[in-house]
Amino acid sequence: MHEMSIATAVVEQVDAAARQHGAVAVETVRLQVGELAGVVPSALDFCFELACAGTLVEGAKLETEAVAARARCTPCGVEWAVGMPPDLGCPRCGGARVELLAGRELQILGVQWAERPVGASADQEG
């Protein structure tokens, strides 16, 4: 399952950044995931939770922003939503010289640091 390797890589990057910034925990991790990235969102959520164990990211919420696949025909310039399964033939001229504009994204958009470990209340701090 490649979602586990993706989740592990995201958690490692976020955990390292959190430590570098002196954060005590992470509240939220926002990811951008393209429709053609080959990622199953529910599997990624599950794997993310597992990968977070024992890190500063443990307990963080994963938010994913889906990016629809879009393409442009090089000869005639028409743009269209690729859809699933992907349709990479130009709807106007039938051409096959196509540029994929969006849909393969897989990147960290943002991280929200926590002021205290996730799940801890202000009363629990020493």
Query: For residue 120, what pLDDT band results from cuts at 50, 70 and 90?
Result: low
Helix axes 41-52, 2-20, angle to 10 degrees: 50
Task: Determine phi and psi for 26, rounding to 5 degrees.
Answer: -120, 130
- Please, what is the average pLDDT of the chain? 90
Mean pLDDT over residues 102-119, rounded? 87
Q: What is the reported pLDDT for 117?
A: 65
The pLDDT tens digits for 66-89 are 999 999 999 999 999 998 778 788
Q: Where are the domains of the chain?
A: 2-69+102-117
Please state which CATH number belongs to domain 2-69+102-117: 3.30.2320.50
Is 96 or 116 the better-scoring residue by pLDDT? 96
Question: pLDDT tens digit string along 19-43?
Answer: 999 999 999 999 999 999 999 989 9
Q: What is the model's pTM?
A: 0.81
Least Cα distance to 87 among 21, 27, 36 occurs for 36
